Amino acid sequence: AQSTQAQAEPQTKPQVKSGLAEPLVEHIYTADPSAHVFNGRLYIYPSHDVESGIPQNDNGDHFDMRDYHILSMDEVGGEVTDHGVALSVKDIPWAGRQLWAPDAAEKDGKYYLYFPLKDKNDVFHIGAAVSDTPEGPFTPEPEPIAGSYSMDPAVFKDDDGEYYMYFGGIWGGQLQRYEGGTYNPEDVYPADDAPAVKPRIAKMADDMLSYAETPKEIELLDKDGSPILQGDNDRRFFEAAWVHKYQGKYYFSYSTGDTHKIVYATGDNPYGPFTYQGVILQPVEGWTNHHSIAKFKGKWYLFYHDSSLSGGQTHLRSVKMTELTYNPDGSIVTIDPYLE
């Protein structure tokens, strides 16, 4: 009777797929991969992890990165080029410390690198740097983007040619200091049964170096329309926002931080609200989980990192990529990074 029942259940929806992959490069540590296709070539804008000897703490002081190297490849599985130093902290006039997860965009033949960095008062802002080529080197603007705060910028180009920056991250990312929109040097979190700290969005101005509007909060909702709560650590926003579009829907994906997952929510426009859908990537080796999603030569890929190459050291990570698949209803098949 049991086997008859098993045969009767249609197996149309695979639940978990393998994401087993090797680091894309092994000569340096790389993390937080933001992938884009420019001029038919795949470019990855990662953090460049280094050992600076700073002890690990909840603020992420051990992520003490000083420059960026951009990676690129002509085809998946092909040779990966490291284009060398694209931007260094010593060349950024407003720099304090910690170059965290970057992103990039192209407009009218110019390339823009967006990067989070603490200023000389140890407060995170987001900077912009410009180049004529996707791999840089990039020339930084003298000041951070006016009105920017917190970290993990991700810039999405919509089909109508408008660009939007998504950003923010709690704990060491300092987003909890901006509840109500103004800076409060104290870390203030909502109660566990209140709506969680919200990621932010701002439309980019035509110059790609400033915001066209004051950053707005993004609503993340449960399927019943109620807000995701601060105490819902398995689903609330932590950091690593990314947006891509698939079959006309906007997919807002992010890391849940202390529960170590990449999850996603979908919506009908760039500002949301976004409704929680599920898990894209299960926890990886190392504390952080950070990703991007891009289509290259007709296939969708998830770019992520883990600490396997460094033997589990959380601040020494390596960028990987694996194919991403959708179910017929547009939901994403969860990836287990270590399933054989």
The residues carrying an active-site annotation are: 32, 239
The tokens 């033949």 sit on which residue? 109
* Footprint on residues 133-172 left by ligand FUB (CB under 6 A): 151-152, 169
- The binding track of 264-303 with respect to ligand FUB, each residue x by CB under 6 A or -, is ------------------------x-x-------------
What does the radius of gyration of the chain's CA atoms come to, in whole angstroms? 19
- Side chain identity at residue 19, one-letter code: G
Contact between 241 and 154 under an 8 Å Cβ cutoff? The reply is yes
Tokens of 261: 């997952």
177: left (phi over 0), alpha (psi -120 to 50) or beta: alpha
Query: Please, which residue, 244 or 315, has the CB nearer to ligand FUB?
Result: 315
**Mask for 89-128, x = binds ligand FUB (CB under 6 A):** -----------xx---------------------------
- CA 93-156-321 angle, to 5 degrees, is 95
The CB-of-122 to ligand FUB minimum distance in angstroms stands at 15
Enumerate residues 226-245 that contact ligand FUB by CB under 6 A: 239-240
CB nearer to ligand FUB: pick between 47 and 277: 47
- Out of 30, 34, 47, 148, point to the residue binding ligand FUB (CB under 6 A): 47
Q: How many CB atoms lie within 10 A of CB 3?
A: 7
- List residues bridging with 30 in a β-sheet: 48
Smallest separation, CB 141 to ligand FUB (Å): 20
Among 41, 35, 56, 33, which residue's Cα sits nearest to residue 318? 33
Residue nearer to ligand FUB on the CB measure, 261 or 290: 290
- Which position has the token pair 């040779």? 79
User: Around Cβ 292, how many Cβ atoms within 10 Å?
Assistant: 27
User: What is the pattern of x (binds ligand FUB, CB under 6 A) and - over residues 17-36?
Assistant: --------------xx----
CB of 18 to ligand FUB, least distance (A): 23
List contacts with ligand FUB (CB under 6 A).
31-32, 47, 60, 63, 100-101, 151-152, 169, 239-240, 288, 290
